[in-house]
Structure 1
């Protein structure tokens, strides 16, 4: 019962970070499930797929109504990552729990570095008076015959597969990689890339979950349900926070939190390797 009660505030916190920050916000799910709710690493990464998938699916609806989702392109990107998601799920079963957690700590540090780089780039643009520069609305990859940029196709395939691999292996949404990939490969404006990334994350999470359900993983559905419901509520709260708090401050606070959690995860897991 105590775990069920604790799942609610944890789910709200994860949902708030996801709603307020978009890509990367859900990466706290696995550490919360492992260290605060007592799940083993494999069960936690599998449960995370359910939580992240449902939260992003519901979180996509406001973006869809606002016209910030390119559904077709999001579905194509997501389907291209299905193979990577299945491969990542299979690889996760061959890795010892502590190795998986050490690798996850490394992933959190990478995400923190990416978010720091984005924050500094935004600060430089603001100082130069450029503001938020949106990419062209015309995608580099067109579905019409004879209008396909081969370089863009290559970037799209590699990125989609890599994101799927991350989702399957770590049980994370991979939004921190999806959003810049959509901007660079498909040249989507940033607000549209954020909305469309939720389609990709939902598809990757679902495909990775399907492959994991055939494995020997036991899930506490009551715990997952409580966490997911709270996460959905938190994501709605987080979406409102973005309009009231400076994005740079949110980014900085989340980056610091990521580094702390990553170091804690590494400190707990690395000694178990020896």
Structure 2
């Protein structure tokens, strides 16, 4: 498959899951970029972050139109998220790719287990 089409297909699948169940597209995009596109862990995570804004804005507008968006809560999360994102992205280059991949996997598995047993 053409690399550009594959990239768009990964983004499409991540967008559907993100919009449908509110997961971060990174859960799908980061592994997709690493294993199908041969991109490094660091580059995949950074690229995934750049995709969040347009997808999140579209999803938020649609959810708002359904009356399903708490704007006050969103703004509070955004304040903490911006500060946390700055700290996390500043630390990220200092972590080896294999350690970063294990952290990513551990967080994804922990969230899956927690949500699966709730």
Shared fold (TM-score, shorter chain, > 0.5): yes
How far the C-alpha of 1:26 sits from its partner, in A, is 4.2
Cα displacement (A) at 1:110: 0.8
The reply to whether residue 32 of structure 1 matches residue 61 of structure 2 is: no
CA contact under 8 A between 2:14 and 2:25: conserved in structure 1? yes
Provide the rounded CA distance (Å) in 2 between the counterparts of 1:73 and 1:59. Answer: 16
Gaps of 5+ in 2: none
Larger helix percent: 2
Show CA shifts across 1:71-100 (max 9, x none): 233112211332211111111010011111
The CA distance in 2 between the partners of 1:51 and 1:107, in whole Å, is 20
Look at both structures and tell me which one has the larger radius of gyration over its CA atoms: 1
The answer as to whether partners of 1:15 and 1:26 remain within 8 angstroms in 2 is no
Q: Which has the higher contact order (CA 8 A, sep 6+)?
A: 1
Query: How big is the alpha-carbon RMSD for the aligned residues of Structure 1 and Structure 2?
Result: 1.9
Q: Provide the rounded CA distance (Å) in 2 between the counterparts of 1:60 and 1:26.
A: 17
Q: Judge conservation of contact 2:26–2:49 (CA < 8 Å) in 1.
A: no
TM-score with structure 1 setting the length: 0.40
> Structure 1 pair 44/25, CA: closer, same or farther in 2 (3 Å)?
closer
Task: Please state whether the residue corresponding to 2:103 is helix, strand or coil.
Answer: helix
CA contact (8 A) 1:19 1:25 kept: no
TM-superposed CA distance for 1:25, in Å, is 5.4
1:70 aligns with 2:66: no
* Alignment: residue pair count: 118
What's the TM-score, normalizing by structure 2?
Answer: 0.87
